[in-house]
Chain A
């Protein structure tokens, strides 16, 4: 499963969105789709566990979780950095 597919399924499971995640484009605004603050925290924790990464504090913001594309970019970057470290 590619990173973006894995993130899609985590968003579907933990995002508690009132819409079907399959109908959302990768760059669709998740907050506009109904992502709440609490759900975004659960999403964050589930992504950390799945990819075995830790979001640094400066990435714990709305921008990081604003779309499937944004999450994928940050996860890809952190996976590289944290594996290299």
Chain B
């Protein structure tokens, strides 16, 4: 905990992150943003030749799509919904009174049609499904979005609002597995290019409750999720900075994604935790990017 608090405090002092008074909700300084921008450019240089379709969704998604995704089955504890005041003038007066008295003014807020995006790829699947069957060879998409997960923490690597860059492959099982294999090798090379130590390991998502324990064990046994672990706040407990996920036909059957042959499409994604990677870089190479090793500077700014 001390290590984590101290890295967070040092990031605040250096102006790399900006305290908002809420754990896991931070402003970003210019130098921090520059590292993320340079790293994203480097991702492009390490990506395979195939040109993905670039799509940028805002950090909120259609609530109906969120409900359809089944996210609440697995991660109810992490979700964030957007609520607004929908009352009349009298309700407004009561609301102001309640705020002035320090009461729970949020009680009367009503759910809007927007839910905070939990992972960059969630809005993609219903969007692609709406277009009809995929063409021959399937689809490849390049996404980036701020994502929300309700898990307040002093660990700077566990933010509540953070950016995830993703490449998503939709197609036959062979196509999406080949995509994932390819990215596991590319991801490790990419991280080594910026002077960080990597370790690839099988992983599971933080599914909720005892049923979630079973989902997680099953995910590990089937090697559906791999993570690239990099030291951020500790060398003993490394942080997952990239993940490589094979969803089998989960999203395909949920949304009716079809291959050109009319089969249920399979999906896989590679996700980059951009803030985590930037934090790993600052933790390893120092808080002033001018002092970073020449090869790392060349890789990012060369």
**Which residues in A have some Cβ–Cβ distance to B below 8 Å?**
37-38, 40-41, 44-45, 55, 57, 60-63
Contacts and interface: CB of A to CB of B under 8 A. Distances in A.
26 contacts: A37-B214, A37-B215, A37-B218, A38-B70, A38-B73, A38-B215, A40-B214, A40-B218, A41-B211, A41-B214, A41-B215, A44-B211, A44-B214, A45-B211, A57-B210, A57-B213, A60-B210, A60-B213, A61-B214, A61-B217, A61-B221, A62-B217, A62-B218, A62-B221, A62-B222, A63-B221
Contact of B217 (A38, A45, A60): A60
Interface in B191-229: 210-211, 213-215, 217-219, 221-222
Contacts of A63: 221
B219 to A, nearest CB: 8
Contacts, number: 31
A60 B214 contact: yes
A55 B213 CA distance: 11
Contacts of B73: 38
A57 B211 CA distance: 10
Main secondary structure of the interface of B (DSSP, over half): helix
A57 B210 CA distance: 8
Contacts of A37: 214-215, 218-219
Nearest to B220: A61
Contacts of A61: 214, 217-218, 221
A60 to B, nearest CB: 4
Contacts of A45: 211
Contacts of B222: 62
A57 B213 CA distance: 7
Given A37-B219, A63-B221, 16 more contacts: A38-B73, A38-B215, A40-B214, A40-B218, A44-B211, A44-B214, A55-B210, A57-B213, A60-B213, A60-B214, A60-B217, A61-B214, A61-B218, A61-B221, A62-B217, A62-B221
